[in-house]
């Protein structure tokens, strides 16, 4: 079945460092891809999405490009802030099925 694999955390970075969180997927069809973020004590929020190959989703300085050839959707940010500390989930939806999530990657940014 469909699945999402993302890099294990926790990831600890200093403020203004470059962030990459890897995500690869397996799907039978042509899925839409998502990154969700969970801040402490809150529900999951959509961070960005991409619906077709080579699309780039972006929001709040985060970017991810849908790479069909490598089945990847890596999350990047050029300069992280303390406020970016959260758990990040990669997810896909294939052929109108409910979202399938990865296990999540915890990011801690220290000043």
Q: Which residues bind another protein (CB under 8 A)?
A: 4, 31-32, 34, 36, 41-46, 49-51, 89, 91, 93-104
> Which residue lies nearer to another protein by CB, 77 or 105?
105
Tokens 């089945």 -> residue: 71
Tell me how far, at minimum, the Cβ of 72 lies from another protein, in Å.
Answer: 17
Task: State in angstroms the smallest separation of the CB of 93 from another protein.
Answer: 4
Strand partners, 84: none
**Comparison of 19 and 89: residue with beta carbon closer to another protein:** 89
Q: Which residues of 46-85 are buried (b: 16+ CB within 10 A; e: fewer)?
A: ebbbbeeeeeebeeeebbbbbbeeebbbbbebeebeeebb
Nearer to another protein, 49 or 77 (CB): 49
């Amino acid at each position: 079945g469909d699945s999402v694999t993302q890099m294990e955390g926790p990831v600890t970075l200093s403020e203004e460092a470059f962030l990459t969180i890897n995500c690869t997927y397996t799907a039978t069809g042509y899925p839409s891809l998502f990154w969700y973020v969970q801040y402490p004590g809150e529900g999951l929020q959509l961070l960005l999405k991409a619906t077709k190959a080579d699309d780039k989703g972006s929001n709040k300085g985060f970017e991810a490009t849908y790479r069909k050839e490598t089945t990847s959707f890596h999350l990047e940010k050029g300069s992280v802030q303390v406020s970016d500390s959260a758990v990040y989930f990669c997810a896909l939806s294939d052929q109108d099925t409910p979202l399938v999530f990865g296990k999540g990657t915890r990011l801690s940014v220290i000043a």
